[in-house]
Amino acid sequence: MKVYLDNAATTMVRKEVVDAMIPAFTTYYGNPSSLHEFAREAEQLLDSARKDVANVIGAKPDEIVFTGGGSESDNMALRGAVAANKKKGKHVITSAVEHHAVLYTLQAMEREGLIDLTILPVDEYAIVSAESVTSALRDDTVLVSIMFANNEVGTINPIAEIGKVCRDKGVLFHTDAVQATGHVPIDVVKMNIDLMAISAHKFHGPKGVGVLYIRKGVRIPSLIIGGGQEKKRRAGTENVPGIVGLATALKLTNEHMAENAVKVGALRDKLLKGIADRIPDVKLNGHPINRLPNNVNYSIRYIEGESILLMLDINGIAASSGSACTSGSLDPSHVLLAMGLPHEIAHGSLRLTLSEFTTEEEINYVLDLLPQIIQRLRDMSPLYPKQHNA
């Protein structure tokens, strides 16, 4: 049996999305900037994708800039917002649990002397409170970047509150919504969001294509300079098939968001509870309620994450420990450490992320196997207390 529970890392592209992309590869393949029928057809595909994306997040089509993925969107937002506000100041606020596309970029900018950086701590659930943002704001603060939902532990931040705090102070607010988009309702207007990053491959769309929402009136320089595409905000021939795929996937995910939250949420809860019931000495990471409906993240004491993943993989189960980008690295998850977990416990985390294609059968299979796997590894571990061992 093959069970894919690594949907926070990336998702399968759904059939409807592939079907929607194919004509853009082979028939409507013109360059939208050209001046002929092939180009107009491609431009129409772009226009309608832009409208669809705007609709889902409560934006206007003009506010949607298509990019080469979530990381590019984050980089563009951060570098752009800081460059555009040089005269006002150079203080930036972010949180300790951001994705590396935000955290490493801001830290690089700090080293380059471009910004003064405040990294807010989080509580034990990885939540960034609006109060902590408020008290960190300074007169020279130009940008606040707080993620919508955390990729490792699934915790959802009080984005509307943080947005309000920033808007009231006249400070730009960027949110990395790569994990949230398509999974929880987003309204950029009501939430006072100025800049927002989206990535298609997190909701059954293709890899290598994303969105940066830029609120009307916010002007930031381009990260990629050249042709006049995307109203001069992002150069490069538009990835028409990818953009069509992104919009198709987002529309579909959004249409079924509520029902999927229930369906996926129920399976997720079964998995959450099943693990807690069957395996001693585990600790749920992330907020129990303000949490993405598809995320399970446990620290499993006495053993190390990679070993768990390998054992699961041998049995056909795809999972993660820490974020995908840093697996292979030796550091434990910066997110779990920021939440206050001791190193040895942070090393033993297991993330299982579901999708609407996950079945109950798959969850049962995991719940059957996981306890044995954990026990086997614990029996091998010098940290596992003797009394259990007997």
Kindly state the tokens that stand for 255. 């249409």
314 lies in the binding site for other proteins (CB under 8 A): yes
> Given the complex with a second copy, which of 316 and 371 has the nearer CB atom?
316
The most distant pair of C-alpha atoms in the chain lies apart, rounded to whole Å, by 77
Stretch that binds a second copy, among 325-333, 341-349, 357-365, 374-382 (CB under 8 A): 325-333
> Given the complex with other proteins, which of 217 and 228 has the nearer CB atom?
228
**Helical axes 100-111 vs 70-84, angle rounded to 10°:** 40
Of 7, 199, 285, 355, which lies in the binding site for ligand PLP, with binding defined by CB under 6 A?
A: 199
> Given the complex with ligand PLP, which of 157 and 199 has the nearer CB atom?
199
Of 329, 357, 359, 368, which lies in the binding site for other proteins, with binding defined by CB under 8 A?
A: 329
Return the residues of window 32-71 that contact ligand PLP according to CB under 6 A: 69-71
Kindly state the tokens that stand for 142. 């130009």
HEC string of 94-132 equals EECCCCHHHHHHHHHHHHCCCCEEEEECCCCCCCCCHHH
151 lies in the binding site for ligand PLP (CB under 6 A): yes
Distance CA 226, CA 236 (A): 7
390 lies in the binding site for other proteins (CB under 8 A): no
Give Cβ neighbours of residue 96 (< 8 Å, ≥ 6 apart). Answer: 103, 119, 120, 121, 122, 334, 335, 338
Lay out the site mask for other proteins across 34-63 (x = CB under 8 A, - = otherwise).
-x----x-----------------------
306 lies in the binding site for other proteins (CB under 8 A): yes
Return the residues of window 287-306 that contact a second copy according to CB under 8 A: 306
Q: Is 236 left (phi over 0), alpha (psi -120 to 50) or beta?
A: left
Distance from CA of residue 122 to its chain's centroid? 17
> Given the complex with ligand PLP, which of 69 and 348 has the nearer CB atom?
69
| Helix (H) / strand (E) containing 382 | none
**Helical axes 257-278 vs 240-255, angle rounded to 10°:** 70
347 lies in the binding site for other proteins (CB under 8 A): yes
- Could you list the active site residues? 325
> Given the complex with other proteins, which of 20 and 335 has the nearer CB atom?
335
**Binding site residues, ligand PLP, CB under 6 A:** 69-71, 74, 99, 101, 147, 151, 176, 178-179, 199, 201, 210, 236-237
